[in-house]
Amino acid sequence: MTRQHKALGMVLLSARLKTSEIERRLRAADLPARETEGLGGDTVTVDTDDGTLFVTAVPRALTGEDVMNNIHPLFTEEDEIPALGNHAAHLVVVAVNFEAEGTRKVRRHLHQLHARALKALSGLEEVVGYAIDGTTFGPAALRRELADEHSAPIDLWAPAWVWSGDHGITAYTYGLAAFGHPEVQLVDADVEVAEAYVVLSDVAAYVIKGVDLEEGASVGWRAEMQVGVEKRPWVVDLEQPAWQLRMH
């Protein structure tokens, strides 16, 4: 059975954009954009071998629950928050592909296409932020993550959330499922907040490159870093499995 795979995000704007400006920006990035109709607004479409990209200008703001409740403290400066709350419109940016097997390579290429579009659009002066399911970013972090075209924007694809509890540090990724992998997490770990963030981000990058984690295995991507792996319920949704890491 053919299944739809997608990469989805919302670019938050201070004012609504014309489709002609969106088309111009995408074409300048060598994406063959054309104006189309549909998706509840003015849409620009890009057809590529990796999938089809749709960018729709929507003349309204997302709700506070969608944006303000999910502001990531590492990816948002304090002076960026008012503009996030007052954004007046947004762009729905979605890349889709219909692939029977939905290989991880197909999903990775789809996200790379999505990132190319984001980079083209992120330079617009109207951009005040970026929102995906579970996380909101300020504009500076968005542009920073997309600055190096040779480096995957891991924090945009699978951001790590970290907090300190009574029994240690708990942290999780939110986004690896879109690449065909379980999320990764730490629970009540005896590490510093900064180390937990680095570990999860590194493991996410490791996994997105195509590495499969295995129950009971130890993985190391640097000589000084080794973690054990075991399957556990995801802390965000106990019905979903996750790879829980044990620090050595």
Q: What is the predicted pLDDT for the residue at 1?
A: 46
Query: How many domains does the chain fold into?
Result: 2
How much is the pTM? 0.90
pLDDT per position as a tens digit, 174-233: 999 999 899 999 999 998 999 999 899 989 998 898 888 888 777 665 555 667 889 999
Domain finish residue from 127, 155, 183: 155
Please check whether residues 12 and 114 belong to one and the same domain: yes
> Could you say which of 119, 138, 155 is where a domain stops?
155
Shared domain check, 173 and 104: no
**Token couple for 205:** 């990058």
Instruction: Return the bridge partners of 41, or none.
Output: 38
Task: Give the pLDDT confidence of 81-90 residue by residue, as tens digits.
Answer: 999 999 999 9
